[in-house]
Chain A
């Protein structure tokens, strides 16, 4: 069975996010003076073939911990486990 996962990686809350700051700085120039706390992260999609959803999720967890995120600076969240054809 194949399942589609999404992994969201974000900088840890305490860390200054220079990219988020730059985006935040650009928004008022476009008229949005009400936007704040902008953070830029990463969105990774992947398909996993495994016997069960649990097994697939476990593997995505390990990928997220060991490669997709750096636990020193980043947190991750795993979203959706949609079954896909094939």
Chain B
């Protein structure tokens, strides 16, 4: 890598937050590269973001159709080589459908679309997107989803928790967890998880909407900051 970290952002039919993700990458000092779902190539990118939205109208299940897009095989290969991949909201749903992340996202327990700023407790720094954070830190980041309830079988949840694959949990401003702070009924208040290896991360909240202090909270900054620090450190 030379100069600014190059971050590819995939646009699927129905993606909404691809432009915000590209803008966040640029604001944080990276170079945003537009990727098209139908192109089976990534080019020279250092990391990939699957953005939020409603790919293929959420038909069948959120993310179910997008996971078979030509670009997804390339992303799976990139992830297998250790490349950092971040799935945000619909991107998280796509990564779960693709089997790159454990669990699944179903309709919010309330059956309502939820759009507000939430607090997230960082559970692990063992991912490229949380490497500059400390477990227990609280980030303020918006959510906006109707199908964000994280579920998995009881055995799978136990395994995910036991192996430290939970990356973010919904919490109070002080970092307390519990159903009072759970906006969608997610099991154990899980807001984000990582792959076994740690380089693939998915979360329902939107860090790309939380990097500009002029328009809201800035909890997304350390997530992009962690990624860029990792990428720059890998070079030197």
Known: A18-B110, A70-B61. 19 other contacts (CB 8 A): A14-B153, A14-B154, A15-B151, A16-B185, A18-B109, A18-B149, A18-B185, A22-B111, A42-B60, A67-B64, A67-B68, A70-B97, A72-B103, A72-B104, A72-B153, A72-B156, A73-B104, A73-B106, A73-B151
Would A18 and B64 count as touching, CB distance under 8 A? Answer: no
Q: Tell me the residues in window 58-86 of chain A with beta carbons closer than 8 Å to chain B beta carbons.
A: 67-68, 70, 72-73
What is the interface of chain A, defined by CB distance below 8 A to chain B?
Answer: 11-12, 14-16, 18-19, 22, 42, 67-68, 70, 72-73
Query: Shortest Cβ distance from B130 into chain A, in angstroms?
Result: 24
Would B104 and A18 count as touching, CB distance under 8 A? Answer: no
Selected from A12, A18, A67, the residue in CB contact (under 8 A) with B108 is A18
Q: Tell me the residues in window 103-140 of chain B with beta carbons closer than 8 Å to chain A beta carbons.
A: 103-104, 106-111
Would B104 and A70 count as touching, CB distance under 8 A? Answer: yes
When distances are taken between beta carbons in the complex, the residues of chain A under 8 Å from B106 are 11, 15, 18, 73
Query: Shortest Cβ distance from B56 into chain A, in angstroms?
Result: 12
- In this complex, the interface size class of chain B, counting residues with CB under 8 Å from chain A, is 20 to 34
Query: Shortest Cβ distance from A74 into chain B, in angstroms?
Result: 8
Tell me the total A-B contact number using a CB cutoff of 8 A.
Answer: 39
Docked complex Cα distance between A15 and B186 (Å): 12
Cβ of B232 within 8 Å of any chain A Cβ, yes or no, is: no
Task: Select from chain A the residue with minimum beta-carbon distance to B102.
Answer: A72
Docked complex Cα distance between A14 and B154 (Å): 9
Would B109 and A16 count as touching, CB distance under 8 A? Answer: yes
Would B103 and A18 count as touching, CB distance under 8 A? Answer: no
Query: Shortest Cβ distance from B68 into chain A, in angstroms?
Result: 7
Docked complex Cα distance between A33 and B141 (Å): 42
Given A16-B109, A18-B107, A18-B108, A72:B96 Cβ within 8 A: yes
When distances are taken between beta carbons in the complex, the residues of chain A under 8 Å from B107 are 18-19
Residue interface mask B178-206, A partner, CB < 8 A = 1: 00000001000000000000000000000
Query: Shortest Cβ distance from B196 into chain A, in angstroms?
Result: 16
